[in-house]
Amino acid sequence: MSARLAVPKTYKLYIGGAFPRSESGRTFEVLSSRGRFLANAAKASRKDARDAVVAARAAQSGWAGATSYNRGQVLYRIAELLEGRRAQFVDELRQGQGLSESAAQREVDSAIDVWVWYAGWADKYLQVAGNGNPVSGPYFNISTPEPTGVVAAIAPQQSGLLGLVSVVAPILVSGNSVVVIASESAPLPAISLSEVLATSDVPGGVVNILTGSPAEIAPWLASHADVNALDLTGAGELDWVDLQISAADTLKRVLQPEPGVPVPSLDRITFFTETKTVWHPKGII
């Protein structure tokens, strides 16, 4: 029997629940930590970023309109699917980042735990971040957080899976949609995560994952008028001050870079919310 030829995988973008190639047709080589060729991945362009924002905007209102309990269920389902594909992610982290077997297992475990942690907050953060305000008069005055809208994010570049999860999950909790630029040097876990999302209950367009150069893509997202907020967590190696200036032109809320992988925090959920205050009369006036 003749030797079987391997079927190499072509990694594509994840936009609007589908897996398109870059409109430019460009790809880049993904190498292992030892310089061995692993795969070709799509290199996103300005047009791809714009398409991702269009998809995110179309999906955001439906995602925000779901109940908090339902969003929590959907996020928890992602954790279940991650658990089911655990071996695949461990292998990708070992090859792409040069992690040992045990270190790769710990990172996958941490990524799953982060999803579960944020999923648990979906129907609880409103009670913590919102409140009833004391006012003088026959009124109820209630403040409640609502989603900002479409958030563009740069994932930590040194962590292909945990860094991406730590950025994306808190953005989704309150009902935002996201366009995220994955790690350029270790993008394979991000595209595998997109396959998880595509087979979960997350509506298409709620999460859009771009691979390629953050330095090339980020300026277009920072200046895009239909992006409501910018998460620069993984932008430490870029000229992020210019990105912040571009974001200011359209009054975006901006989360500044931080080193390493962010620790799970309620603040990361509430940062991408806007407070809505309503008045309601007591009894009959």
Asked if the model's pLDDT at residue 187 lies above 60, the reply is yes
Confidence bin at 3 (pLDDT 50/70/90): confident
C-alpha 71/C-alpha 217 separation (Å) is 29
DSSP assignment of 210-229 equals E-S-HHHHHHHHHH-TT--E
Residue 276, helix vs strand vs coil = strand
pLDDT digits (tens, 9 = 90+) for 29-56: 999 888 899 999 999 999 999 999 999 9
Q: Maximum Cα–Cα distance for the chain, whole Å?
A: 89
pLDDT (average), residues 173-199: 96
Confidence bin at 284 (pLDDT 50/70/90): low
C-alpha 207/C-alpha 75 separation (Å) is 12
**Contact (CB, 8 A) for 59 and 123:** no
C-alpha 172/C-alpha 75 separation (Å) is 8
What would the two tokens of residue 13 be? 């973008």
> Which residues have a Cβ under 8 Å from the Cβ of 190 and sit 6 or more positions away?
155, 160, 161, 164, 180, 182, 183, 209, 211
pLDDT digits (tens, 9 = 90+) for 198-219: 999 999 999 999 999 999 999 9
- Domains annotated on the chain, with CATH: 12-281 (3.40.605.10)
C-alpha 213/C-alpha 248 separation (Å) is 22
For 46, phi then psi, to 5°, come to -60, -40
Confidence bin at 238 (pLDDT 50/70/90): confident
Q: Which amino acid is at 281?
A: P
What would the two tokens of residue 162 be? 């945990």
Three-state SS annotation for 104-141: HHHHHHHHHHHHHHHHHHCCCHHHHHCEEECCCCCEEE
C-alpha 198/C-alpha 177 separation (Å) is 15
pLDDT (average), residues 116-125: 96
DSSP state of 157: T
